[in-house]
């Protein structure tokens, strides 16, 4: 009997923070997920996850030091499924107020800004996800799609601008971009941590893995 091989998802390892939780969550929902710090391995993956922990500038410079920024840009250009998480989402933009003068990857237009005044910084809490674009395939599951407003876990002081790529927000002193979809449905990102958001986060990651498997150029089987 031949079954389809699990898609290889590269979890980009810039050397900052403990990224094992993202790797293990992806494995739990059926991916062949591995931490990868080699640009060639990133480029050869069926799908890529770009996490980020800490400051925008620190993460961005760590990516560049290992040549991983060019690999992520190549993946995006070839329309390989890509998912950014937390600061990984923020690095998709042109820059951030957190690190003036440090360029982002520029895959999306705009600059990441500090959360509004009048709320605690960072937002470190569970918050409700309000889906504004039910056509987003990562948010199509019963635990995620409207009218459901699931709880997910955030840790951040900066956020991307709400724009045409924003498919879900949370309310934290106003609407805050929480989920993005761009690149003709090949580029996604979450400001929250799906790997720390229980069953809801696993459902989103499972949807990403399913998209990666469906978008592979050819089906690979193993005995």
Catalytic residue set: 86, 193, 195
Query: Whole-angstrom Cα distance, residue 74 to residue 59?
Result: 18
Query: Whole-angstrom Cα distance, residue 188 to residue 168?
Result: 11
Query: Whole-angstrom Cα distance, residue 22 to residue 195?
Result: 5
- Closest by Cα among 216, 193, 217 to 204: 193
- Closest by Cα among 154, 139, 146 to 203: 139
Q: Which residue has the tokens 């050397």?
A: 15
Cβ neighbourhood burial of 131 (10 Å; 0-12, 13-18, 19+): buried
208: part of which helix (H) or strand (E)? helix 198-215
- If one counts every other C-beta atom within 10 angstroms of the C-beta of residue 58, the result is 18
């Amino acid at each position: 009997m031949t079954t389809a091989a699990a898609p290889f998802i590269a979890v980009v390892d810039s050397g900052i923070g403990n990224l094992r939780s993202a790797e293990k969550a992806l494995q739990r929902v059926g991916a062949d997920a591995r931490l990868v710090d080699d640009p060639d391995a990133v480029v050869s993956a069926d799908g890529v996850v770009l996490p980020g922990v800490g400051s925008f500038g620190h993460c961005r410079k760590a990516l560049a030091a290992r040549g991983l920024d060019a690999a992520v840009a190549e993946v995006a250009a070839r329309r390989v499924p890509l998912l950014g998480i937390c600061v990984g989402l923020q690095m998709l933009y042109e820059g951030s107020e957190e690190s003036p003068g440090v360029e982002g990857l520029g895959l999306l237009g705009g600059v990441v800004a500090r959360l509004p005044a009048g709320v605690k910084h960072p937002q470190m809490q569970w918050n409700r996800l309000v889906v504004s674009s039910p056509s987003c395939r990562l948010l199509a599951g019963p635990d995620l799609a409207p009218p459901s407003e699931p709880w997910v876990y955030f840790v951040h002081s900066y956020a991307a601008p709400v724009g045409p790529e924003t498919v879900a927000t949370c309310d934290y002193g106003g609407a805050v971009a929480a989920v993005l979809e761009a690149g003709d449905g090949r580029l996604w990102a979450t400001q929250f941590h799906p790997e720390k958001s229980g069953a809801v986060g696993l459902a989103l990651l499972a949807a990403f893995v399913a998209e990666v498997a469906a978008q592979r150029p050819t089906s690979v089987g193993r005995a």
